[in-house]
Amino acid sequence: MWLWVMGFIVEMVSVCGAGLSCGLQARFVSESLYKEGDVIIGGLFPVHVEAPEPYHAFTQIKHISRCQGVNLRSYRWLKTMIFTVEEINRDPVLLPNITLGYLVADTCLAEGTTLSAALALVTGQEGTVSGAECSGAPMVPVIIGDARSSASIVVADTLGVFDIPMVSYFASCACLSDSRRFHSFLRTVPSDAFQAKAMARLLHLLDWTWVGVVAGDDEYGKSGVQLLLKELENTQICVDYLEFIPKSHSQSRIRRTVERIQSSTARVVVTFAIAPDIGVLLKEVVVQNVTNRQWIATEAWSTSILFFDPASSSLLAGTIGFAMRRADIQGLGAFLAQLSPAKQPNEPFVKDVWKELFGCSLAQDWQPSSKTPKCTGSENVEKHGRIYTDVSQLRVTYNVYKAVYAIANAIHNMMACQPGRGPFENGECPDVTQINPRQLLHYLNAVNFTTPVGELVYFEGNREPSASYDIMNWHVDESGAVNFVQVGQFDAAKGPGQELNINLEKVVWGGGWADKVPVSVCSASCLPGTRKAAQKGKPVCCFDCLSCAAGEVSNMTDSTECVRCPERFWSNIERTRCIPKVVEFLSLQDTMGIVLTVLSVTGATLTTTVLAAFFHYRDTPLVRANNSELSFLLLVSLTLCFLCALVFIGRPAPWNCMLRHTVFGVSFVICIACVLSKTVVVLVAFQATLPGSNLMQYFGPIQQRAGIFLCTLVQVVICLLWLLLAPPLPTENAGGELGARVILQCTVGSVVGFVLVLGYIGLLAVVCFLLAFFARKLPDNFNEAKFITFSMLIFCAVWIAFVPAYVSSPGKYTVAVEIFAILASSYGLLLCIFTPKCYIILLKPEKNTKKNMMGRVISVVQYVLN
C-alpha cells in the first residue's frame, strides 16, 4: 500500500523546467467511464474481482494485464450511478443550469488498484503533457466509493489530506466512524457497530449461546468480529471458535477452517466477510458436506448468490442475514436492460459483462479456437440479465442512488448560498463554477433531503445514516432457486429493547431443522432445582447442572446459585420451592401411633378383665392362696403401666412431658414392688414350713404394704426432685434429611433424673429376678416363683435392649421405642404371672379347691425334708 502512496506523492509534484517536460508517471489505471459536465463526480466500483499482479510504481510499463472476473452486481451499482446522474440532470429544479458529469473507474476489488483508480480520478487521466501544458482531464471534487472497507480506509487516509470528500455506499467498517482520522469520509450505509449489535440481539433472542465465528482477513472482517465480541461480553453467549478466511484463499487454510466448523458442537455460524470470501469457503463446505449448520450472514452477502456454487444452495437454505433497506427505483430496470454492445461500443466493460451474462464472446473478440460460442450482440438482456437486471433487492444499489443525490443536494445548497451570509470566512459563499472539495465537504455534512423514493436522508454526527436493517431468510425451492424473504427488521432508532422485531413463524431454519428453531448450546439449560457449575478450563457457556443441596432451592432456569430456605421452611423433593417443614411427633393419626394405642388399650382392657375375674373369684382357694391383696394391687399398677403409654402419644406439651416419665416411673415401681413382695412372701412361706421358723410374723399384710409404700416413696421423691430441678419440657429439633422436618419431642431435662428413674426400676427388677430365680425349684402348684422368673427375665431383656434402641432411634421413633418397651414389659408381667391362674380359675375350676391347695403344702414339706 505504501508504494501506492509514494507514487501519489511523486505524481502530485510536477517537475517542469527549461527543456524538460512534466507528466504523469506511467502506471496502471483501471478502465473507466467518463461523461463531461459542469461538476464531475468520481465513482469507484469493483466491476472485476481479480486484480493484476502489483507493479513497481516508477517503472515505465507498456503493457499491463487486465482485471479478471466480472461482478454483475457491482456493475449494476456503476450503472445506477450513471442512471442517477442522468435523472438529476433531467430535473429542472434540483440543479438548474448545472450539468453533472461522472468519471467512474474499476477498482478490481483490491486496495492497490482502488488507490490507483482514486488517484487517477483526482489528478487526471493517464498520459504525458509537455511544457507548460501541465493539465489533464477534469479534476473531480468528490468520489462515490469504495465498496470495501479496507480499500476505503486506504483511499480516505490518502485523500483526506486534501479534504477530498468520499461518500461510500457499502464500506460499513466501524473504524471508518473515526472523525479525526477520516474527517472527509461519509457513507450511506450504517456502521457495522449496529450490525454487530443486531447480531447479538438475534443470538440472544433465539437462545443461541454457543456459536462459531468466521470472518474475512481484512478490515471489514476483523473490525466486525471485534465489535461482535464486545457486544457478547455482557451476555451468556460464547464463541467456540474464531476463524479467518485468508485473502490468498489458501486451500489448506480453507480446508482447516471448514474442518473446525464441522467438528464444533456449535450449530450456528456467524459470518463477517464479503461475498467472494464466503463463496470460497462454501465451496469447501460443499466438498466436506457440512449440512447441519445455521448460517448468519452480514449485509455483505445476505441477498447475493453471485459467488456461490449452485450446489451450496441447499446447504444455505434457512440462512438468516441482515440487509440494508430495500427500495424501488423507478425506471432503473428499463435503464439496465438498455445495455447493448452496439449502443455502447466504447464502454470498456460491455464485452466482459456480455460474456458473463450469456457465456459467449462478441464477434470482434471471437476466435475459432475459443471455447466459448460467438455472440450476436442482440441477446435479450432483460430476459437473461440475471442479477444485473434483478431490481427486486435494491439495497446497496439504493445506497449508490442516495450517495449521488446527497452530492447533488449539497451542490444545490451551495448554489442557494446568499452572498455575505455564507458559512465561510467573512460570509463568503462557495464558487459553484470551480467547486472546492473542502467547501463541498462542509455542505455534504449538513445535507438533509428526501429522495424520490420518499426517504429522509441526512448524515448524523459521525457522518453516516441511522441504522436500519431488514432481516432476510433464504428460502430454497425444489429447483434450487433462492428466494430472499424478509422476516423482520432491526431499527436502532427505536431504542434499547425495541430495535429487533422478527416473525419466527415465517422463518425457515437451516441445518435441517426446517420449522424448528435450531438448538446451539454448549450445555443444556439447567432446570429449576439445579444450579450451574462452570466446567474447568471452558467458557462460561459450558457448565454442569448440579442439584441444589437439601434446604436450598432455585426456581429459575439456569440459576447460578441456590437460595437457602428461611427458618422453619425446607426444600421440596424437586428443590424448586420452599415448603413449611413437616412438624413430626407421634400422634394418633400415625399408623404407628394407632397401633401402639390399640396395644395399650388392649393391655389395659386385659388387665382390667383379669382384675374383674380375680375380684369375682376372690373367695376361691387359688386367689386367696396367691395373696389376693397383692394381686389386686399388681393388676391395678399394671393397668396404669399400660395406660401411661397413652401419655407418650400426642403433641408434646409441658404438662404431658412432665407426666410421661413420672407416671411411667411410679407405675412400674408399684408393679415391680408388688412382684417383689410376692416373691419374698413365697420364699418366706417356704422357710416358714420348717420346724421352729417364725419368719411369717415379719412379712404379714402390714409389712407388705409398708414395703411397697417405701419402694414407691423412693421413686416419688426422685420424680419430684427431677420435676423441680430440671423438668422434661417440649423442644423442637431438626430431623429427617438434613433437617427437612421439625421434630417435637420432650427433652429429659436432667439426664441424671432420667437415669435414676430407670435405674431404680432396674434395681428392683434385678432383685426380684434373683429372688425368683432362687425359688424356681419349689413345687409348681404351690408357688409363683417360676412364672415370676420368666416375667422378670422378659422385663430385664426388654429394658436392656431399650437403651441402645432409644439412643439410636431418630425423631418420633425414640418415643415409639420407649412405648414399646413399656408395653412389652407390661405384657410380659401380665401374661407370665396371671395366665396360669386365669387358666385354672376360668377353664379348670375343679382344681381351684382348698383340698388341692392343702395337698400341695404337705408335698412341699416332704420335698424339703428329703
Closest C-alpha to 166, from 149, 146, 194:
146
The C-alpha atoms of residue 287 and residue 570 are separated, in whole angstroms, by 58
Interior CA angle at 719 toward 714 and 724, to 5°? 130
- The pairing of strands 210-216 and 185-187 is unpaired
Closest C-alpha to 359, from 341, 336, 375, 342:
375
pLDDT above 60: residue 675? yes
Beta bridge partners of 243: 214
Helix, strand, or coil (residue 662):
helix
DSSP state, residue 71: -
- Residue whose C-alpha cell is 467512474: 104
Burial class (CB in 10 A: 0-12, 13-18, 19+), 639: buried
Rounded to two decimals, what is the model's pTM?
0.68
pLDDT above 90: residue 509? yes
Closest C-alpha to 37, from 88, 102, 81:
102
pLDDT of residue 16: 34
Q: Which residues have C-beta within 8 Å of that of residue 784, sequence separation ≥ 6?
A: 626, 678, 679, 682, 833
The C-alpha atoms of residue 363 and residue 356 are separated, in whole angstroms, by 15
pLDDT above 50: residue 61? no
pLDDT of residue 297: 95
What mean pLDDT comes out for the span 652-657?
88
Select the more confidently predicted residue: 217 or 618. 217
> Long-range pairs for 13-22 at CB < 8 Å and ≥24 separation?
14/134, 16/131, 16/132, 16/134, 21/128, 21/129, 21/130, 21/131, 22/129, 22/130, 22/131, 22/134
User: CA torsion angle for 375, 376, 380, 386 (degrees, to 10)?
Assistant: 10
Least confident residue range of 594-598, 664-668, 862-866: 862-866
Query: CB–CB of 622/841 below 8 Å?
Result: yes
Phi, psi of 81 (to 5 degrees): -65, -45
The C-alpha atoms of residue 409 and residue 95 are separated, in whole angstroms, by 8
Listed in sequence order, the DSSP H helices in 143-214 are 149-159, 192-205
pLDDT of residue 144: 97
HSE-up of residue 798 (Cα within 13 Å, Cβ side): 22
Helix, strand, or coil (residue 846):
helix
DSSP state, residue 244: E
Query: CB–CB of 813/850 below 8 Å?
Result: no
- Residue whose C-alpha cell is 438529476: 88
Q: Which residues have C-beta within 8 Å of that of residue 129, sequence separation ≥ 6?
A: 21, 22, 23, 24, 135, 136
Beta bridge partners of 578: 571
The C-alpha atoms of residue 439 and residue 507 are separated, in whole angstroms, by 48
Compute the Cα dihedral for 111, 113, 114, 120 and give only its sign.
positive
The amino acid that residue 163 corresponds to is D
**What DSSP element (H or E) covers 144?**
strand 142-144
Q: What is the pLDDT of residues 378-423, one digit of tens each?
A: 888 888 777 899 898 899 999 999 999 999 999 999 999 998 888 9
Q: What is the pLDDT of residues 745-772, one digit of tens each?
A: 888 888 898 889 889 988 988 888 888 7
DSSP state, residue 361: B
pLDDT of residue 59: 41
Closest C-alpha to 315, from 262, 274, 392, 272:
262
CA 631 to chain centre: 78
pLDDT of residue 691: 54
- The DSSP code sequence of 247-276 is TT--HHHHHHHHHHHHH-S--EEEEE--HH
pLDDT above 50: residue 475? yes
Least confident residue range of 67-81, 521-535, 581-595, 777-791: 777-791
Q: What is the pLDDT of residues 809-836, one digit of tens each?
A: 777 888 888 888 889 988 988 888 888 8
Q: Which residues have C-beta within 8 Å of that of residue 860, sequence separation ≥ 6?
A: 686, 689, 778, 779, 782
pLDDT of residue 736: 58
pLDDT of residue 776: 64
Closest C-alpha to 364, from 346, 380, 383:
346
Burial class (CB in 10 A: 0-12, 13-18, 19+), 677: buried
Helix, strand, or coil (residue 811):
coil
Query: CB–CB of 326/481 below 8 Å?
Result: no
End-to-end CA distance of the chain: give it in Å, rounded.
137
pLDDT of residue 254: 95
Q: What is the pLDDT of residues 177-194, one digit of tens each?
A: 998 999 999 999 999 999
Q: What is the pLDDT of residues 143-180, one digit of tens each?
A: 998 999 999 999 999 999 999 999 999 999 999 999 89
Query: CB–CB of 137/122 below 8 Å?
Result: no
How many residues make up the chain in this entry? 866
pLDDT above 70: residue 435? yes
Q: What is the pLDDT of residues 237-276, one digit of tens each?
A: 999 999 999 988 899 999 999 999 999 999 999 999 998 8
**b/e per residue, 144-156, with b = 16+ CB within 10 A?**
bbbbbbbbbbbbb
